[in-house]
């Protein structure tokens, strides 16, 4: 591998948006650490797809909220490729329900992954990403859309939006950008599961572009922030087709 090859670690890259991001960054010439939590088969398929097109990738695992596990995941990517330039944290969970009836055990599980997990990954990234690199978290357009039933999920992603500009300022002088992408309704299993066709059609009609986003749409926004978007820092990029 060339000394000039950039290296990315993408969490939650075994499927959905994370997989699309891993593939997109690999297409830009980056070596990619494909992180997964439970689905090793899907992660291995992502790696194989990247390698089939001439790219380099490895699969790494670990609970994003477990500091020791993520330390090992970052270590594995550094051992394989010599360093890390880009960290994209797509891993997350979504549990829906009205606030008044929301199960607090579900709330604890959601915040452990989405808030603590973001903090743990960002902490490792802040310690390791090389100069000229990028740290990219994931929020959601629901923080602005305020859909009923999304209180817990939106609250967890609001924490991500609060963290991003603080970390950008803490990394002053290191030539590292810190941003987040906030997708709108996107055709992934995470979004589609549990929704009937009428609900999906209604949401797809809301953006001026009159369709759901695709994982590849979101991956393009990530690729911009990971590559040429060097003057964008401490921001949340709403990638949602104009829905909000």
Strands (E), the chain: 7-11, 31-36, 57-61, 86-89, 134-138, 177-183, 236-239
Pair 75, 125: CB distance under 8 Å: no
Q: CB within 8 A of 120, min separation 6: which ones?
A: 64, 65, 66, 67, 70
Q: Which residues are catalytic?
A: 153
User: Exposed e or buried b for every residue in 69-108, given b needs 16+ CB within 10 A?
Assistant: bbbebbebbeeebeebbbbbbbbbbbbbbeeeebeeeebe
């Amino acid at each position: 591998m060339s000394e000039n090859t950039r290296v990315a670690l993408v969490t939650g890259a075994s499927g959905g948006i994370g997989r699309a991001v891993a593939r997109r960054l690999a297409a830009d010439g980056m070596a990619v650490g494909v992180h997964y939590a439970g689905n090793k088969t899907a992660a291995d398929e992502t790696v194989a797809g990247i390698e089939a097109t001439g790219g380099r990738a490895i699969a790494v695992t670990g609970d994003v909220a477990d500091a020791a596990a993520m330390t090992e995941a970052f270590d594995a990517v550094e051992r394989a490729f010599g360093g890390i330039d880009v960290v994209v944290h797509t891993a997350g969970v979504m549990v829906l329900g009205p606030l008044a009836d929301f199960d607090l055990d579900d709330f604890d599980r959601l915040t452990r992954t989405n808030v603590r997990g973001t903090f743990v990954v960002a902490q490792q990234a802040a310690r390791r990403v090389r100069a000229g690199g990028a740290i990219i978290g994931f929020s959601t357009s629901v923080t602005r859309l305020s859909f009923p039933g999304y209180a817990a999920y939106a609250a967890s992603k609001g924490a991500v939006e609060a963290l991003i500009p603080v970390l950008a300022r803490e990394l002053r002088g290191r030539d590292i950008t810190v941003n987040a992408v906030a997708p709108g309704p996107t055709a992934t299993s995470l979004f589609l599961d549990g929704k009937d066709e009428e609900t999906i059609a209604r949401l797809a009609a809301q953006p001026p572009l009159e369709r759901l986003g695709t994982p590849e749409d979101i991956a393009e926004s990530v690729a911009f922030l990971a590559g040429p978007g060097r003057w964008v820092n401490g921001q949340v990029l709403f990638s949602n087709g104009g829905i909000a």
